[in-house]
């Protein structure tokens, strides 16, 4: 069995089959026939953190997709502009990083639209991967909803940087969508795991593509 769940923190490192069955409108991975992977980053743009990610991607000549929080774009417009200028892709991650399960549909959709005015994208990822079926049904009319099949766990304060790296390299395969976070909490693990994971995958013949 490839899928693994962190029982204490209740998140899946590798998306199991039943999540795919529950959420047919969601993209968990891309084609398994090509030796490509898809790096994604959630929660930015954040000073120091997002520039570190952008510098790392530039060093390895890799493109990625940034699921941005609207309020962070408002606070850090120059970093957002650099994401675009560097040739990366952006996605909508709501304006206030809302948890859909705890938010009424009308409020949630309005928050997405506020972010969309800044991102102007066809990609959406719900924060925490927590959105109601009713919300996803409406969102899918306007966006490609992107989840993942490899979650680095960089947000997990109990995870070592080495384990974060191992999560990525153990479960990545053709078509994998990999999640890191360009936020302050993730930085101790992100700074260790990201460059090593990119180098490891490149050495094994993977290319990095946009969604």
Going by DSSP bridges, is the β-strand pair 26-27/144-146 parallel, antiparallel, or unpaired?
parallel
List C-alpha distances in Å: 191 to 31, 96, 152, 180: 28, 25, 12, 10
* Cα dihedral 4, 154, 99, 6 in deg (nearest 10): 20
Q: Is position 154 annotated as part of the catalytic site?
A: no
Q: Please tell me the distance from the alpha carbon of residue 207 to that of residue 209, in angstroms, as a whole number.
A: 7
Going by DSSP bridges, is the β-strand pair 207-208/89-92 parallel, antiparallel, or unpaired?
unpaired
Burial of 24 (0-12, 13-18, 19+ CB in 10 A): exposed
Whether the Cβ atoms of residue 30 and residue 211 lie closer than 8 Å to each other: yes
Which two structure tokens, joined as six digits, stand for 16? 């199991």
Active-site residue, from 88, 93, 181, 182: 181
Q: Which DSSP category does 157 fall into?
A: T
Active-site residue, from 6, 42, 102, 142: 42
Active site residues: 42, 181
């Amino acid at each position: 069995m490839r899928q693994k769940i962190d029982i204490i923190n209740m998140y899946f490192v590798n998306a199991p089959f039943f999540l795919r069955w529950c959420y047919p409108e969601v993209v968990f991975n891309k084609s398994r026939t090509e030796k490509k992977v898809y790096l994604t980053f959630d929660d930015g743009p954040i000073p120091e953190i997002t520039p570190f990610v952008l510098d790392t991607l530039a060093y390895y000549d890799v493109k990625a997709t940034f699921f941005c929080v609207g309020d962070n774009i408002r606070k850090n417009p120059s970093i957002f502009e650099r994401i675009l200028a560097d040739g990366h892709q952006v996605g909508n991650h709501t304006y206030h990083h809302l948890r859909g399960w705890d938010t009424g549909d009308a409020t949630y959709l309005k928050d997405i639209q506020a972010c969309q005015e800044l991102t102007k994208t066809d990609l959406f990822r719900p924060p925490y991967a927590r959105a109601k079926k009713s919300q996803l049904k409406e969102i899918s009319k306007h966006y490609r909803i992107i989840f993942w099949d490899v979650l680095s766990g960089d947000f997990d304060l109990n995870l070592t940087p080495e384990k974060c790296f191992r999560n990525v390299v153990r479960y990545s395969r053709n078509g994998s969508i990999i999640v890191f976070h360009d936020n302050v909490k993730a930085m101790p693990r992100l700074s260790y795991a990201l460059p090593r994971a990119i180098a490891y995958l490149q050495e094994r013949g993977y290319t990095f593509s946009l969604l």
